[in-house]
Structure 1
């Protein structure tokens, strides 16, 4: 072929060095239009990261062509992790607390963004339950949000930035599109228990009676879409959930802004739409509003400790999923006196705390236990339960968990959670090392031999997978005892057995579905002890594919670092030695 012909060859027919994500490894030829080639497009293959550039004609057709282009100066890459972050796009919002009108401005922008997204993707935006057809149906036409709220991906990436994004995408690209592409009504993953129609009906009834403000509908959409990723046993409370959400939304401005921020954050992480960057920017602004309001609420004597804790819990929930570790840990400490004021004690029995009204206490208790594991510090509370009574058949404590403790919310069996807390307590107990080792052996036996009661489910497959998830948590508890008390290495027979069992059970679970999306901590613990490249790759893949949240990518990148340190020194590294904490479970 002559040189002139090569030069005149259309750029779309030139295969880049890296290729698109799907074609790179599987196809020999690729008429690439980064990041999605036409061959991928024809076969419905997905190149999920970075987002596909949209031509001007597409933006014009959807009424968002007057958007602010994301400049490369606003994209900053962390050289150590390869992650990219977006700088604040509307500088006036950095001063949100200076003027009451700023609050209205941000909420107006949030509503207008929801309206624009509904136009661009009716399935992902429109509330899927009657009588609402989408946010646009409840937003008046007079609302005109500043265009600075909207962001579209820059269509002219520099070569170096694009290369870094491609390298990052190979290991850390989002794995899940949620709601699934099949649609809300056709996908069994979204609602295997068939409980979401009950929730939608309860929202309809509530709306007819209470006439909530328009932004409440977006929170309802968030819960109806991501319900299986928020509550482990989500079918337990669908009828009462709408009223509970409404009460939380109206508890304080702190909880309202934080709930809206979390809803926007989840949509930016999972929907994979052209508005991803805009959702993320709005999530940050709403979080800033909630932080400013939190200071006022904590000083407000008119608010009860329970109401203050609700706002704090919603903020911590946002910080956990967005990876703001230092803020997350500091607010967890700030919640300690509030929880004590609610309970009247610093002792907790997870088997005797039940109901959705105690959600905030259960949320904080689970954070307390996991934070102790992640940072090697004692738990703030004492977790005491009559295990002898709980082991006897026929007692209330020995029955199925239903709405007791944390299992129905987070999937970890209550007994395992209690024994994890006891392991942390034993780790810091002022006793001889011989006594600590002896009690550690007893703890391992207790975890290994405890008869776990499975959670019920209407779906037979879900019942089976939940039993498997309980066993995954059992082996995670065994690994934590070996890490915190027995100081075992990867060659210990019990450690090797638990790692293999977690891998084996995980292979039977649908990645990113339920209950897999609740098993990040067991996957991390098993990955920490994994020695072979195959086991490490498997567990790292399971960790990343369980969701799209930043905290999962942070856990995966820390696993990489721990493996490098372990391989170079010949001894197990520690995930909790460095300060400030690098991870959150």
Structure 2
């Protein structure tokens, strides 16, 4: 009995050629448990795997070792990729299929996701759907004949099986620089609902189906619906909000204005290029950029349109902001679009320039919540004042039994971003205190009061079904508690990494983070705490852990931009012998 057990153990832990790249490079034993092997899970490392040989877009010789590839010049690697691409065909039938009962089936060996098959299936979800593409959709040009809408426009069209050398080189370069670390949905996932611990995805899809049947659906809505259903757990922290309310918000936002529609389509294409391993990644990214450009061109017209309400104008602006935040490397980025009076739109919707986060409740305030969080984060990243005032009676709300002391599923920011509403208020209040014209001693006194308030705050959980999910959310809330403490010490006390409270909070964030599954909910919403904790980290081990957790939150370029800035901040701090603030440079180097 003992002999087979020992053999299984030796088989599980071995120095193999098929384990993760981290174990292979360090010549460690790997149990080859994808997506995160036991060693990387234990050490808190970001587990990186090579693409499967059978479905790899850039199929290289299996005899070539990863260390050998690292030493090959870029041109030779591109030559190898081009040679392999030219001799391999592209998978065609690889689309997920939606059905009217809310289920979603996936092709088992798919690496390309497309709505075309779902559109032409026997039970299509969206009536009369048309693929979207980089050509301006017909709704943007009233002179376009409706009869022309049936002409399909490229959005996710499968390219010809013949791949030219230049195209192969461009595709390789993209995969090398921007290839996904996280594949979503994960490979081997038979049903997307496996990624839904709360079990609400089928009902959400059914709500979208019902809405699309009740009203005429514009071209492209199917792609937006696929985007929200596929990435639901990555877009909303507590996505178990009543599905009809969330579906109505998606539907209303899509039909609010042309700029809003373009913005949603650009983000949908961008997520597919970032998270779905496919040869079409470059095509999707080009489509995303085109939709974004159309949104930018349309926005001034929508803002001047007297027929549109302030909320409808705000949705167009938010669509552009979402895209610009996700892709922070394009030169057109303007944080919060300062050339447009977004804060005046918020004041028109809310009725005041002072906002109580505990009062932002209901589907009508979803977009206001999004803008508010952008405003708070922009102030944290740039050390500029917030555009609006945020005042909430935290002292009163902290009392047990008060209506604001508990979590609410559609109130404030927590259900969207995971930050407890009280802690979001503390972050905003800390920024306001930083910019207040007060004596330093008075600022320090008020900062101490804020820190004590954070420590004493009793957090209540949003409702969850699974025990593991509940424990993970408790950990996420505690991470936000320590993040608030670190930000108070950064903005008010100007503390360095040697401060005992700073060291304790960094230690606690690292300890809790290592218990969360990388890249999944709630970990994917904690990139700001990971950045701030990494900023204060001193040892190489702590820095490596925080940088790995930061990059592991997702594939978006802003995460890699933050990681790159961490490297720069650490280098500057080590060279000058003092802590270098992330907001010292002008213009600002980062955007949260």
Specify the TM-score bucket, using the shorter chain as the normaliser.
0.7 to 0.9
Task: Determine the structure 2 residue equivalent to 1:112.
Answer: none
What are the residue-to-residue correspondences of 1:255-266 with 2, within 5 Å?
255-266=260-271
Structure ranking higher in helix proportion = 1
Give the drift of 1:151: 7.2
Q: 3-state SS of the aligned residue for 1:203? A: helix
Q: Which segments of 5 or more consecutive residues in structure 1 lack a partner in the other structure?
A: 1-18, 42-48, 65-116
Cα 1:184–1:518 change in 2 (3 A) is farther
Of the three residues 497, 503, 521, the one matched with 2:504 is: 497
Q: Secondary structure at the match of 2:567?
A: helix
> Does 2:129 match 1:138?
yes
Greater Cα offset, 461-470 or 236-245 = 236-245
* Residue 81 (structure 1) aligns with: none
Q: Distance in 1 between matches of 2:152 and 2:492?
A: 60
CA distance change for structure 1 residues 304 and 568 in 2, over 3 Å: closer, same or farther?
A: same
Contact 1:21–1:35 under 8 Å retained in 2: no
CA contact (8 A) 1:406 1:412 kept: yes
Instruction: Answer yes or no: is the 8 Å Cα contact 1:118–1:135 preserved in 2.
Output: no
The superposition leaves residues 346-372 of structure 1 with CA deviations (integer Å, 9 ceiling, x where unpaired) of: 100001111122011111111111100
Distance 1:164 1:234, change over 3 A: closer
Residues in 1 aligned to 2:573 and 2:247: alpha-carbon distance in whole angstroms: 48
**Using a 3 Å threshold, how does the CA distance of structure 1 residues 497 and 224 change in structure 2: closer, same or farther?**
same
1:514 aligned to which of 521, 526, 530? 521
Map Cα deviations across residues 135-179 of structure 1 (whole Å, 9 max, x no partner). 89834996355799887998758999999989x76xx76320001
Partner Cα separation in structure 1 for residue 370 and residue 221 of structure 2: 22
Q: Does 1:457 align with 2:487?
A: no
Question: How far apart are residue 582 of structure 1 and its match?
Answer: 1.7
Q: Is 1:352 aligned with 2:343?
A: no
Q: How many angstroms does 1:536 deviate by?
A: 0.2
Residue in 2 that maps onto 1:176: 182
SS of corresponding position for 1:398: coil
Matching of residue 239 in structure 1 with residue 244 in structure 2: yes
TM-score, with structure 2 as normaliser? 0.77
Change (3 A) 1:487 1:142: closer
Distance of aligned partners of 1:39 and 1:390 in 2 relative to their CA distance in 1, 3 Å threshold:
farther
The 1-side partners of 2:513 and 2:156 are apart by: 44
Distance 1:202 1:273 in 2: 29
Query: How large is the Cα RMSD of the aligned pairs?
Result: 3.8
Counterpart of 1:331? 337
Structure 2 CA distance for aligned equivalents of residues 279 and 460 of structure 1: 38
Displacement of 1:345: 1.1
| Greater mean alpha carbon deviation, residues 336-345 or residues 367-376 | 336-345
- Identify the match of residue 249 of structure 1 among 254, 273, 281: 254
Bigger mean CA offset, 473-482 vs 433-442: 433-442
User: What is the CA deviation profile of residues 511-559 of structure 1, one whole-angstrom value per residue up to 9, with x for unaligned ones?
Assistant: 0000000000000000000000000000000000110001000000000
| Alignment match of 1:416 (pick from 413, 423, 429) | 423
> Does the CA-based 8 Å contact 2:112-2:279 persist in structure 1?
no
Partner of residue 436, structure 1: 443
1-structure distance, mates of 2:530, 2:405: 27
- Residue 124 of structure 1 aligns to a residue whose secondary structure is coil
- Does 2:225 match 1:220? yes
8 Å CA contact retained: 1:326, 1:581: no
Shift of 1:433: 0.8
Match of 1:125 among 110, 114, 125: 114
The alignment covers a number of residue pairs equal to 502
Alpha carbons of structure 1 residues 421 and 145: separation in structure 2 relative to 1, 3 Å? closer
Displacement, 1:493?
0.6
Deviation of 1:278 after TM superposition, in Å, equals 0.1
CA contact (8 A) 2:497 2:537 kept: yes
Distance 1:196 1:408 in 2: 16
| 2:85 is equivalent to residue 55 of structure 1 | yes
- 1:139–1:463 distance in 2 versus 1, CA, 3 Å: same
**What's 1:578 paired with?**
585
- Distance in 1, matches of 2:217 and 2:154, equals 25
Compared CA separation, residues 330 and 245, structure 1 to 2 (3 A) = closer
